[in-house]
Structure 1
Amino acid sequence: MADEVNRAAFVELQARMIETKGKIKQLQAQTRSKESEKKRAYLTLEELRQLPDDTNTYKTIGKVFILEPRSVLMNEQEQKLNDSETAIASMQTSEEYLEKQLAEVENNIRELLQQDPGLMRQILSMTVQ
């Protein structure tokens, strides 16, 4: 009976570990996306700063280009830059939390396997077959 309880606990911990690793990978992909968005906004902003104030600037909306004042475009790019930085910081905090959760689950699995050496043999025999 204890073997079944330990086996069920192991399966549950393993599922949590796989789920947490998936969330971490997803968060890392979102972070990379936000970092590239931030870089694009920064580079666009730097180019806009070099232009004289009276330069005609255009904003793209789909396939359409709309004449916009330089200051409006600069404000939009600054807002994108700030939003990206905020999102990246939030994602990094979430990733750190998930990493701690993953470490906790791994420790729980390790403790479970140390408490029940028979469970480890069962698991190893299942993976070898």
Structure 2
Amino acid sequence: MADETNRAAFVELQARMIETTGKLKQLQVQMRTKESEKKRAYLTLEELRQLPDDTNTYKTIGKVFILEPRSLLANEQQQKLNDSETAISSMQTSKEYLEKQLGELENNIRELLQQDPVLARQILSI
């Protein structure tokens, strides 16, 4: 009876660990995407700041170019930069939480296998 309980606990812990690892990988991909958006917005903003105020600037919307004031485009890029930084900091908090949760799951699995050497041998033989 204890073997079945330990086996069920192991399967549950293993499933949660796989799920948490998947979430962590997905979050890392999202963070990389936001980092590239942030970098693109920063570089565009730096280029816009070098232009004189009376320069004609165009914003692309699909295949169309629309004449926009330089200040408006600079404000949009600054907003994208700020939004990306906010999203990255939020994702960093989530990443730390998931990493902590993953560590706890690893410890729980390790403790379970130390308590039940028969289960550990069965898992190793698979």
Q: Distance in 2 between matches of 1:103 and 1:113?
A: 15
Q: Distance in 2 between matches of 1:77 and 1:90?
A: 20
In the alignment, what sits opposite 1:60?
Answer: 60
Q: Distance in 2 between matches of 1:82 and 1:63?
A: 26
Q: Distance in 2 between matches of 1:57 and 1:70?
A: 6
Alpha-carbon offset, residue 122 of structure 1: 1.1
Secondary structure of residue in 2 paired with 1:65 = strand
Structure 2 residue runs without a partner (length 5+): none
In the alignment, what sits opposite 1:96?
Answer: 96
In the alignment, what sits opposite 1:17?
Answer: 17
**Residue-by-residue CA offset, 1:47-99 (whole Å, 9 max, x unaligned):** 00000000000000011000000000000000000000000000010000000
Alpha-carbon offset, residue 124 of structure 1: 1.4
Query: What value does the CA root-mean-square deviation take over the aligned residues?
Result: 0.5
Q: Distance in 2 between matches of 1:114 and 1:73?
A: 61
In the alignment, what sits opposite 1:34?
Answer: 34
Size of the alignment, in residue pairs? Answer: 126
Q: Distance in 1 between matches of 2:80 and 2:108?
A: 41
Alpha-carbon offset, residue 7 of structure 1: 0.2
In the alignment, what sits opposite 1:75?
Answer: 75
TM-score by length of 1: 0.97
TM-score by length of 2: 0.99
In the alignment, what sits opposite 1:107?
Answer: 107
Secondary structure of residue in 1 paired with 2:105 = helix
Amino acid across the alignment from 2:51: L
Identity of matched residues, % = 87
Structure 1 stretches (4+) deviating beyond 6 angstroms?
none
Q: Distance in 2 between matches of 1:79 and 1:65?
A: 20
In the alignment, what sits opposite 2:49?
Answer: 49
Amino acid across the alignment from 1:87: A
